[in-house]
Amino acid sequence: MEQYKQEFIEFMVDCKALKFGEFTLKSGRKSPFFMNAGAYVTGSQLMKLGESYAKAIHDTYGDDFDVLFGPAYKGIPISVVTAVAYSKLYGKEVRYCSDRKEEKDHGADKGTGILLGSKIKDGDRVMIIEDVTTSGKSMEETVPKVRGAANVEIVGLMVSLNRMEKGLGGKVSALEEIKEKYGFDAHAIVTMQDVIDHLYNRPYKGEVYIDDTLKKAIDEYYAVYGA
């Protein structure tokens, strides 16, 4: 496993962005683990988060894209800090863009649409960036917004954690389903299997986060929802 992936797993644990226990997800699924990008709240944490996304995008997709699109709300700060990190690490200026939940009705940019940050223009190559995708449902809103803004190519999607669960169709993983449905690749900085490999019965800072009991709960969860 690449060094940045090991560091990102430990980073998620340190920031309490990745938790283990019993959680009810937005999809209604009862999960023994939960990922919350809202836990990254300090300057150093956000800097590390942006660098982790930038490294994963660079490693997976290279530099051939123009815009980072982060869906509201959590995708907004992620796209901003990743654009900053991309400039710092690779010397490439990429624009950031996000959507509003509602169209702005005041100020100098009143009536200019639902996008904020850089405008998307014809010919742009867009990288979508999100915190986590459980079922892939969020793409039903995001993809039409991006493709409706201009004649663009969506290069791919990068999320922080691949939960490795079935998508809405119930057959293949959410990330695989996104590729089948929308025609672009979807990847993650780390997969849940990476997390298990790195933390199972291995103490980190004096604590074992995934012991035999939790591993059994994860296995049972994947027996139902795993792809």
136, HSE (Cβ side, Cα atoms, 13 Å): 24
Q: Which of 129, 94, 120 is nearest to 112 (CA)?
A: 120
Burial of 78: CB neighbours in 10 Å, binned 0-12, 13-18, 19+: buried
Residue 23 in contact with residue 33, Cβ under 8 Å? Answer: yes
pLDDT by 10s per residue, the chain, length 227: 889 999 999 999 999 999 999 998 877 889 999 998 889 999 999 999 999 999 999 999 999 999 999 998 889 999 999 999 999 999 999 999 998 766 554 444 443 357 878 889 999 999 999 988 766 677 888 999 999 999 999 999 999 999 898 877 777 788 888 888 999 999 999 999 999 999 999 999 999 999 999 999 999 999 998 87
For the full predicted model, state whether its pTM sits above 0.85. yes
Which tokens sit at 3?
């060094």
Three-state DSSP class for residue 11 = helix
From 104, 179, 181, 187, the catalytic residue: 104
**Does an H or E element contain 175, and which?**
helix 174-182
Active site residue 106: yes
Instruction: Output the DSSP codes for 46-82.
Output: HHHHHHHHHHHHHHHHTT--SEEEE-TTTHHHHHHHH
CA distance 147 to 192: 30
Measured CA to CA in angstroms, residue 64 lies from 67, 86, 155 at distances of 10, 12, 8
Residue 142 in contact with residue 159, Cβ under 8 Å? Answer: no
Residue 12 in contact with residue 18, Cβ under 8 Å? Answer: yes
C-alpha 114, offset from chain centre: 21
Helices then strands (H, E): number in the chain? 7, 9
Residue 132 pLDDT: 81
Residue 204 pLDDT: 96
From 26, 101, 106, 110, the catalytic residue: 106
Angle, in degrees to the nearest 10, between helices 212-225 and 192-199: 160
